[in-house]
Chains A and B, each alone.
Chain A
């Protein structure tokens, strides 16, 4: 009897909901602790819970193609997996992951010869005269994107974490390995630079 050929396709994973629910009941800290003893299921649950935020953070820190962001997200969680035993429960796991992601991006930028100024996904402002409200908004966004891209890495990381992701200053400082004063100074500098960029375009 001949057997039909196999289609050779991957079907999406079908998770067993009740088992998944068991993982989802655990706190972030418990999941990270489980990672520390080698539980890959906990790592999967941690990924499920935080990957969107990590994707968002990394894409704000580094404008690059999707596959590179995928790699950085994976590196972030892998680094968290390896360092899980070192996690101290003084801060939130999310902030901890943000700190790892920020360091991952920083190392990636430093080790990368090519530094992209890829702003292709940001539409250039239309040259309208005089600009209406929507056009002015688009121009502001464009200037802000460029300014954010041109910020020194240390300032950009602090700005994105504290301002855009709203990580409390103490946690951000701990996650980034900075003193609170240093973090505050960098945040101030980042805001000033961005504000100047916006103001410069409106003059």
Chain B
């Protein structure tokens, strides 16, 4: 007797159910986003360069020859003198750029920018007969709109190129691209050393936040006792009301800001930069006693860090951390030394400082931030396994922002 009788033939439905159990592929978020960006880039390129049709080839050649001649004219006669349209305060649709050559110029894009914005407009040619407009942006937030549908606007910073079509908001600080938002149309971003990114309408790209920039949080201070104090002589301290400090209470949240006058922010900081109310208030200089060496070095280091002198700040903060002063303040100094080192690009030393901080301050409220920062540094050099461990260690942090940063770090691995 055949075994067929003991094994019922599966029905079509049962067979399909079985087949559905076979593994399928589902991309993770990173891959999906990469495919999506690549797809949109390809689609944009596809639209920008429609396939030539044979009946139009002859006309294309003729147009190309005319365009080549036009380029020669542009190069020879139409170089912008000085700085064309430089820093047009509140510029709204400056005239068509350099139209003196007598050839058809690309239509000028509309640019809305505040008076503080700094940018220039110039003509460029791509070697294939096409003359376009390039907007070099140095600082400020610009709202750029194509002159008409289908026209592209090229924007450039020191570190990035943006090819926009439609309406695009571009934020630049210090010649560095900070953010791009597409209101309508699309934009292609080519940031130095990064993968190309395509944004569709409604999407925003923001420059990576530097670890050090987000990790600067006020160090803990003692319970405030309002005391009028004199300015500290050795440190670039603002003349503000200080707090008398008996001893820095490390584990106490450092957000007691209400009783303290803060220095006015000299200028609006760009996104990601520490803002005034997040600055630490170095607990030194009370009228009761002279600041210790640790406090002095800490304050000096912080002032340097605030001024952007990361290398010097790292040195001062390292001195504070190595001193025999208050252990809690020294631990904080180690943390901020790591921040300074990271800003100075000395990643390996920053890692060491963070590890030292984590060893020295097992109960610090900054452990989560330090762990995230360390995870990012380790991930940057490709050690995903170790980075994962540090990110995971920060998931239990009391600060939701730290937990979110840890999750982002994990997702990026």
Residues of A that sit less than 8 Å from B by CB: 1-16, 18-20, 22-23, 38, 40-41, 43-44, 47-48, 51-52, 55-56, 58-60, 66, 69-70, 73-74, 77-78, 81-82, 121-122, 140-141, 144-145, 148, 159, 163-164, 191, 194-195, 198-199, 202-203
B46 near A78 (CB under 8 angstroms)? Answer: yes
Residues of chain A lying within 8 A (CB to CB) of residue B311 = 2
A40 near B40 (CB under 8 angstroms)? Answer: yes
Residues of chain B lying within 8 A (CB to CB) of residue A141 = 18, 21-22
Report the tally of A-B residue pairs with Cβ distances under 8 A: 186
A41 near B201 (CB under 8 angstroms)? Answer: yes
A203 near B202 (CB under 8 angstroms)? Answer: no
A55 near B36 (CB under 8 angstroms)? Answer: no
Give A194's nearest chain B residue, CB to CB: B15
Give A5 to B159 CA distance when docked, in angstroms: 11
A15-B202 contact given A5-B345, A66-B31, A78-B46, CB 8 Å threshold: yes
B:358-387 near A, CB below 8 Å: 376, 380
B213 near A10 (CB under 8 angstroms)? Answer: no
Residues of chain A lying within 8 A (CB to CB) of residue B9 = 195, 199
A121-B15 contact given A6-B208, A7-B210, A40-B200, CB 8 Å threshold: no
Among B23, B47, B200, B213, the residue within 8 A (CB) of A44 is B200
B38 near A74 (CB under 8 angstroms)? Answer: yes
User: Is B26's beta carbon under 8 Å from chain A?
Assistant: yes
B195 near A10 (CB under 8 angstroms)? Answer: yes
Give A163's nearest chain B residue, CB to CB: B16
Among A41, A199, A202, the residue within 8 A (CB) of B202 is A41
Residues of chain B lying within 8 A (CB to CB) of residue A77 = 39
Give A69 to B309 CA distance when docked, in angstroms: 48
Among A52, A140, A164, A203, the residue within 8 A (CB) of B16 is A164
Among B42, B343, B412, the residue within 8 A (CB) of A78 is B42
Give A88 to B22 CA distance when docked, in angstroms: 33
Q: Which of A3, A4, A60, A74 has the most CB of B within 10 A?
A: A4
Q: Which of B176, B185, B203 has the most CB of A within 10 A?
A: B203
A69 near B25 (CB under 8 angstroms)? Answer: yes
B27 near A55 (CB under 8 angstroms)? Answer: yes
B176 near A122 (CB under 8 angstroms)? Answer: no
Give A47 to B36 CA distance when docked, in angstroms: 7
Q: Which of B15, B308, B344 has the most CB of A within 10 A?
A: B15
Residues of chain A lying within 8 A (CB to CB) of residue B211 = 7
Give A8 to B195 CA distance when docked, in angstroms: 10
Residues of chain B lying within 8 A (CB to CB) of residue A14 = 203-206
A9 near B24 (CB under 8 angstroms)? Answer: no
Residues of chain A lying within 8 A (CB to CB) of residue B210 = 4-7
Give A158 to B20 CA distance when docked, in angstroms: 15
Give A122 to B411 CA distance when docked, in angstroms: 27
Residues of chain B lying within 8 A (CB to CB) of residue A38 = 47, 150
A8 near B3 (CB under 8 angstroms)? Answer: no
Residues of chain B lying within 8 A (CB to CB) of residue A56 = 24-26
A47-B24 contact given A14-B204, A41-B200, A144-B18, CB 8 Å threshold: no
Give A38 to B24 CA distance when docked, in angstroms: 32
B:186-238 near A, CB below 8 Å: 186, 192-195, 197-213
Residues of chain A lying within 8 A (CB to CB) of residue B321 = none
Residues of chain A lying within 8 A (CB to CB) of residue B201 = 19, 23, 41
Residues of chain B lying within 8 A (CB to CB) of residue A22 = 202
Give A162 to B200 CA distance when docked, in angstroms: 34
B40 near A44 (CB under 8 angstroms)? Answer: yes
Give B23's nearest chain A residue, CB to CB: A121
Give B30's nearest chain A residue, CB to CB: A12
Give A159's nearest chain B residue, CB to CB: B19
A41-B186 contact given A11-B208, A163-B19, CB 8 Å threshold: yes
Residues of chain A lying within 8 A (CB to CB) of residue B206 = 11, 14
User: Is B52's beta carbon under 8 Å from chain A?
Assistant: no
Give A51's nearest chain B residue, CB to CB: B32
User: Is B115's beta carbon under 8 Å from chain A?
Assistant: no
Give A199 to B168 CA distance when docked, in angstroms: 61
A82 near B212 (CB under 8 angstroms)? Answer: no
Give A199 to B2 CA distance when docked, in angstroms: 12
Give A18 to B204 CA distance when docked, in angstroms: 12
A10 near B308 (CB under 8 angstroms)? Answer: no
Give A41 to B22 CA distance when docked, in angstroms: 34
A195-B10 contact given A7-B380, A15-B202, A77-B39, CB 8 Å threshold: yes
User: Is B319's beta carbon under 8 Å from chain A?
Assistant: no
Q: Which 5 A-B pairs have the closest CB atoms?
A: A19-B202, A59-B25, A41-B200, A202-B7, A41-B201
User: Is B33's beta carbon under 8 Å from chain A?
Assistant: yes
A10-B208 contact given A44-B36, A78-B43, CB 8 Å threshold: yes
Chain A: minimal CB distance from B98 (Å): 29
Give A48 to B40 CA distance when docked, in angstroms: 12
Residues of chain B lying within 8 A (CB to CB) of residue A198 = 10, 15, 18
Give A162 to B258 CA distance when docked, in angstroms: 67
A52-B26 contact given A7-B211, A9-B380, A44-B36, CB 8 Å threshold: yes
Chain B: minimal CB distance from A55 (Å): 6
Give A151 to B337 CA distance when docked, in angstroms: 64
0 or 1 for each of B305-340: is its CB under 8 Å from A? (1 = yes): 001111100000000000000000000000000000
A47 near B39 (CB under 8 angstroms)? Answer: yes
Chain B: minimal CB distance from A108 (Å): 15
Among B32, B34, B308, the residue within 8 A (CB) of A3 is B308
B:1-18 near A, CB below 8 Å: 2-4, 7, 9-10, 12, 15-16, 18
- Please name 16 further chain A to chain B contacts, defined as beta carbons within 8 Å, in addition to the given A41-B200, A164-B20, sorted by A numbering: A4-B343, A7-B376, A11-B208, A13-B197, A15-B204, A38-B47, A44-B39, A44-B40, A47-B36, A74-B38, A81-B43, A121-B23, A144-B22, A163-B12, A202-B3, A203-B4
